[in-house]
């Protein structure tokens, strides 16, 4: 089969590889129709989240049809159309039973403390090949696959694999509730769903921050008040918008590839802070492979989190879903202490939220498809990766369709 394979930092290829097979009685093999590229994949290729093994198929977002099931998968049959959860659980351990699927004890064979089980990820997250492929093996399929109604399209469903449940989880851990004022840092695909989820959880106002006007336009269309950090100092702007109080809830949907302001009033401060950011980058990502302007790590790893902390109201809560590597040691803990802030972070507990989000999509309450701006064939995945990596205008989220999905029915 064809698949996008990680060969090294800055080196991904479209290869022909062996088809996956059932390895455990709890496995299913799914024929992928639609996969997607995620900001998380960019961290792996840029080297800001280390640990990818050469040969690993990339991708953790997918929709498809069950091809084969192991003997312990009793809720699904070959032919069922399914969406695949990017975060994997076993469905039996104490953590899964309490809904903390990202901390499952069993799904990752490297042990309970090794990392959230996911596809196409650094080795410590488990030996699972990714979903940017024609077929994939899904462990504990009874828990990690969700049957799709015919009325929900692939384009809608692919957002439920990771970005929507992650944005929703961000709103949950940032403690968004009725009447609160929330800020969403980063208006990539995850930030877009964090904005929508914050409103769904009752936020009265959502302020969204990014440096890309097209991404801010999408957030404004969803009802957010937007701030371009290349035009205004985002902390000052938030203080002005909230009469000097700050926001109750902040969601970091940026992660380690955070950028400094390149123009506007925040860029002066960034220039002064530059040596510190360079030092952070050298420590967090000693090895990178930037080439021809591609696969460049963000130049200010702690910028989004420090702005987010700075603009919180006293007693406010920060929810971090942007990904940082285990080696990251930079966080503005002093401000957190001084203002009695709460910080929560983590990978989303996707299997917990997918059913309710799917029901909202099915009932027409939300149409997640507006975030999906690009539909490309899997065979053009490398070109699509390059545009998404550059955050080229219009390239907000890329779906990848396999040949089987492109053939007329
Ligand atoms: N925790 C989870 O379960 C989970 C799941 C999926 C993705 N993620 C993570 O969420 C993050 C976002 O993913 P994505 O796919 O939307 O990625 P993305 O790279 O497309 O989006 C990041 C956005 O942040 C913006 N940004 C950069 N620096 C900023 C700053 N200082 N302030 C405000 N905005 C800034 C960028 O312009 C970009 O629009 C990534 O770190 C990704 O790894 C986490
Ligand atoms: Zn993802
Ligand atoms: Zn478990």
**Which tens digit of pLDDT belongs to each residue from 106-145?**
999 999 999 999 999 999 999 999 999 999 999 999 999 9
Closest CA to ligand 1's atom 14: 39
Whether 332 lines ligand 1, by a CB cut-off of 6 Å, is no
In the predicted structure, residue 105 carries a pLDDT above the cut 60? yes
**Which listed CATH number (3.40.50.300, 3.40.228.10, 3.40.50.720, 3.30.930.10) goes with 166-345?**
3.40.50.720
Q: 394: CA distance to ligand 2 center in Å?
A: 18
Q: 95: CA distance to ligand 3 center in Å?
A: 6
Task: Give me the pLDDT at residue 268, please.
Answer: 76
Whether 64 lines ligand 1, by a CB cut-off of 6 Å, is no
Task: Give me the pLDDT at residue 275, please.
Answer: 82
In the block, residue with structure tokens 């957010």: 224
In the block, residue with structure tokens 């097209």: 214
In the predicted structure, residue 269 carries a pLDDT above the cut 80? no
Q: Which of 232, 368, 384, 220 lies closest to 311, judged by CA?
A: 232
Whether 38 lines ligand 1, by a CB cut-off of 6 Å, is yes
**Number of CB atoms found within 10 A of residue 352's CB:** 21
Per-position b or e across 34-65, b if 16+ CB within 10 A of its CB? bbbbbbbbbbbbbbbbbebeeebbbbbbbbbb
Sign of CA dihedral 4, 124, 138, 35: negative
Q: 105: CA distance to ligand 3 center in Å?
A: 5
Q: 30: CA distance to ligand 1 center in Å?
A: 28
Chain segment 11-33, per-residue pLDDT in tens:
999 999 999 999 999 999 999 99
Q: Determine which helix (DSSP H) or strand (DSSP E) holds 396, and give its type and residue range.
A: none
Task: Give me the pLDDT at residue 276, please.
Answer: 85
For 150, the token pair is 């015919």
Atom of ligand 1 nearest to the CA of 185: 33
Q: 304: CA distance to ligand 2 center in Å?
A: 19
**Helix intervals (H) in 211-310:** 213-221, 234-241, 265-284, 303-310
Whether 229 lines ligand 1, by a CB cut-off of 6 Å, is yes
In sequence order, the 6+-apart residues with CB closer than 8 A to the CB of 305 are 185, 252, 254, 258, 318, 320, 322, 331, 332
For 381, the token pair is 């995945």
Task: Give me the pLDDT at residue 6, please.
Answer: 98
CA of 89, nearest ligand number: 3
Whether 255 lines ligand 1, by a CB cut-off of 6 Å, is yes
Whether 146 lines ligand 1, by a CB cut-off of 6 Å, is no
Task: Give me the pLDDT at residue 409, please.
Answer: 59
291 beta partners: 294
For 59, the token pair is 């991708």
Atom of ligand 1 nearest to the CA of 49: 43
Q: Please give the distance of CA 308 from its chain centroid, rounded to a whole number.
A: 18
Q: 396: CA distance to ligand 1 center in Å?
A: 11
Task: Give me the pLDDT at residue 128, please.
Answer: 98
Q: Where are the domains of the chain?
A: 2-148+373-406, 166-345
**Number of CB atoms found within 10 A of residue 273's CB:** 16
Please give all residues whose CB falls under 5 A of ion ligand 2, grouped by chain where several chains appear.
Answer: 38, 40, 162
Q: Please give the distance of CA 136 from its chain centroid, rounded to a whole number.
A: 20
Indicate the Cα dihedral angle 8, 11, 16, 18, nearest 10°: 20
Give the mean model confidence (pLDDT) for residues 388-394: 97
Task: Give me the pLDDT at residue 271, please.
Answer: 56
Best mutation site among 104, 218, 250, 253 for ligand 1, i.e. most ligand atoms within 8 A of its Cβ? 253
Whether 190 lines ligand 1, by a CB cut-off of 6 Å, is yes
Q: Which of 200, 205, 216 lies closest to 168, judged by CA?
A: 200
Confidence of residue 259 (pLDDT cuts 50, 70, 90): very high
Chain segment 189-238, per-residue pLDDT in tens:
999 999 999 999 999 999 999 999 999 999 999 999 999 999 999 999 99
Contact of 253 with 167, CB cutoff 8 Å:
yes
Best mutation site among 188, 231, 374 for ligand 1, i.e. most ligand atoms within 8 A of its Cβ? 188
Q: 265: CA distance to ligand 2 center in Å?
A: 32
Give the mean model confidence (pLDDT) for residues 376-381: 98
Give me the CATH topology for the region 2-148+373-406: Quinone Oxidoreductase; Chain A, domain 1 (3.90.180)
136 beta partners: 30
Task: Give me the pLDDT at residue 393, please.
Answer: 97
Atom of ligand 1 nearest to the CA of 215: 39
Closest CA to ligand 1's atom 8: 322
Task: Give me the pLDDT at residue 407, please.
Answer: 82
In the predicted structure, residue 240 carries a pLDDT above the cut 80? yes
Q: 321: CA distance to ligand 1 center in Å?
A: 8
pTM of the model: 0.97
Contact of 303 with 258, CB cutoff 8 Å:
yes
Closest CA to ligand 1's atom 7: 40
Chain segment 292-344, per-residue pLDDT in tens:
899 999 999 999 999 999 999 999 999 999 999 998 999 999 999 999 999 99
**Number of CB atoms found within 10 A of residue 356's CB:** 11
Atom of ligand 1 nearest to the CA of 350: 3
């Amino acid at each position: 089969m064809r698949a996008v394979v990680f060969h090294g930092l800055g080196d991904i290829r479209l290869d022909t590889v062996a088809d996956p097979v059932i390895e455990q009685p709890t496995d299913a093999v799914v024929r992928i129709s639609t996969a997607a590229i995620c900001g998380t994949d960019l961290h792996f290729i840029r080297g800001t989240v280390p640990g990818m093994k050469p040969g690993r198929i990339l991708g953790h977002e997918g929709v498809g049809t069950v091809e084969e099931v192991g003997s312990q998968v009793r809720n699904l049959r070959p032919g069922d159309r399914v969406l695949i959860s990017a975060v994997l659980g076993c469905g039996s351990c104490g953590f899964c039973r309490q809904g903390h699927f990202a901390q499952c004890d069993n799904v990752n064979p490297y042990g309970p403390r090794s990392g959230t089980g996911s596809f196409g990820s650094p080795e410590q997250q488990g030996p699972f090949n990714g979903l940017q492929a024609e077929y994939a093996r899904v462990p504990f399929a009874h828990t990690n696959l969700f049957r799709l109604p015919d009325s929900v399209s692939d384009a809608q469903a692919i957002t439920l694999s990771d970005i929507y449940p992650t944005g929703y989880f961000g709103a949950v851990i940032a403690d968004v509730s009725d009447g609160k004022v929330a800020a969403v840092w980063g208006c990539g695909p995850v930030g877009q769903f964090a904005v929508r989820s914050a409103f769904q959880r009752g936020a009265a106002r959502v302020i969204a921050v990014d440096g890309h006007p097209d991404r801010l336009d999408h957030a404004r269309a969803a009802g957010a008040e937007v701030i371009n950090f290349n035009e205004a100092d985002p902390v000052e702007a938030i203080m002005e918008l909230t009469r000097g109080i700050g926001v109750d809830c902040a969601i970091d949907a940026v992660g380690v590839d955070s950028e400094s302001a390149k123009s506007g009033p925040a860029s002066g401060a960034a220039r002064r802070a530059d040596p510190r950011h360079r030092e952070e980058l050298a420590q967090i990502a000693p090895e990178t492979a930037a080439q021809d302007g591609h696969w460049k790590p963000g130049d200010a790893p702690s910028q989004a989190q420090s702005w987010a902390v700075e603009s919180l109201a006293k007693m406010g809560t920060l929810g971090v879903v942007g990904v940082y590597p285990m080696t990251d040691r930079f966080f503005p803990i002093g401000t957190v202490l001084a203002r009695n802030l709460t910080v929560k972070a983590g990978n989303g507990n996707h299997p917990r939220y997918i059913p309710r989000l799917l029901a909202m999509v099915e009932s027409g309450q939300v149409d997640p498809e507006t975030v999906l701006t690009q539909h490309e064939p899997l065979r053009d995945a490398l070109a699509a990766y390059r545009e998404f990596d550059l955050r080229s205008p219009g390239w907000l989220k890329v779906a990848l369709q396999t040949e089987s999905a492109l053939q007329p029915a």
